[in-house]
Chain A
Amino acid sequence: GAVVSQHPSWVICKSGTSVKIECRSLDFQATTMFWYRQFPKQSLMLMATSNEGSKATYEQGVEKDKFLINHASLTLSTLTVTSAHPEDSSFYICSASTSGVPPDTQYFGPGTRLTVL
């Protein structure tokens, strides 16, 4: 149980284009989903928190107009990197948690490697 998928697993795009990454909880309803960014050999950096049907809460320093997050259902959240630039190249990971038991445990997707040329 507690499986989270991400799609695509990797994507290469041209500078200036937009890229959408999907995060799905496959066998549970995720009341909250989180988006992280991970640079090589570093820890995970939280970008934003989203609750189903609500606007996402962004961490300080994260541009909300650049990283659009939509949490349309209890099983799907999307991250859209708009007008991507090479500095946006990174590994993006989503996680999902439920208000059920056990609480506050996040289950992670396999990540998406974004390369912007």
Chain B
Amino acid sequence: AQTVTQSQPEMSVQEAETVTLSCTYDTSESDYYLFWYKQPPSRQMILVIRQEAYKQQNATENRFSVNFQKAAKSFSLKISDSQLGDAAMYFCAYIPTGTASKLTFGTGTRLQVTL
């Protein structure tokens, strides 16, 4: 069974600083996608970034970037120049390719941004 582990229940970062959220996963599949979703207090799940396993290049989306280590099954999220609006729950998620695939979520990391 696929599992996604987020070992940091809570993280804190000062405004304008950089923070890295960790995520590891376990799978026997070779082709899959990884995601980071953000859930602010409004509870709307927002897609932050998406990585395709067959691509070696790390995905980047403005201030958000990932460090994808396929052999180590690691998928960390780096947030640069942190802003107050980045405060939220962050969920790492995995899905194998193919129809009828289901997202597997990690337990989440709550990010606090301080002044």
- Interface residues, chain A, CB within 8 Å of chain B? 34, 38, 42-44, 46, 49, 57, 91, 93, 95, 99, 102-108, 110-111
Counted as pairs of residues, one from A and one from B, with CB atoms less than 8 Å apart, the total is 45
Residues of A with C-beta under 8 A to B101: 104
Contact B103 A106 (CB under 8 A): yes
Bound form: Cα–Cα A100–B6 in Å: 30
**How many residues of chain B get a CB closer than 8 Å to chain A's CBs?**
22
Per-position contact with A for B21-47: 1 when CB-CB < 8 Å, else 0?
A: 000000000000101010000111111
Contact B47 A105 (CB under 8 A): yes
A103 to B103, CA, bound (A): 13
User: Given that A91-B43, A105-B35, A111-B43 are contacting pairs, would A46 and B103 also be in contact in the complex, using a CB cutoff of 8 Å?
Assistant: yes
Measured between beta carbons, the chain A residues less than 8 angstroms from B105 are 43-44
15 example contacts (A-B, Cβ-Cβ < 8 A) are as follows: A34-B103, A42-B108, A43-B105, A43-B108, A44-B45, A44-B91, A49-B100, A49-B102, A95-B45, A104-B33, A106-B103, A108-B37, A108-B46, A110-B44, A111-B44
Q: How far is the CB of B109 from chain A (nearest CB, A)?
A: 11
Considering the complex, give the chain A residue whose CB is closest to the CB of B32.
A104
In the bound complex, how far is the Cα of B42 from the Cα of A35, in angstroms? 18
Give the dominant DSSP class at B's interface. loop
Q: CB of B50 within 8 A of chain A?
A: yes
Shortest A47–chain B CB gap in Å is 11
Contact B43 A110 (CB under 8 A): yes
Q: Is the CB of A102 within 8 A of B50?
A: yes
Given the complex of chains A and B, what is the CA–CA distance between A44 and B44 in angstroms? 12
Query: B95 in the interface, Cβ–Cβ < 8 Å?
Result: yes
Given A104-B95, A105-B35, are A93 and B45 also a contact pair (CB < 8 Å)? yes
Considering only residues 90-115 of chain B, those with a C-beta below 8 Å from chain A are: 91, 95, 97, 99-103, 105-108
**List of B residues within 8 angstroms of A104 by Cβ:** 33, 95, 97, 101
Chain A nearest Cβ from B33, distance in angstroms = 5
Give A107 Cβ to nearest chain B Cβ, in Å. 7
Q: A102-B50, A104-B33 are in contact. Are A110 and B97 (CB under 8 A)?
A: no
Whether B107 pairs with A43 at a CB distance below 8 angstroms is yes
Q: Whole-angstrom distance from the CB of A62 to the nearest CB of chain B?
A: 13
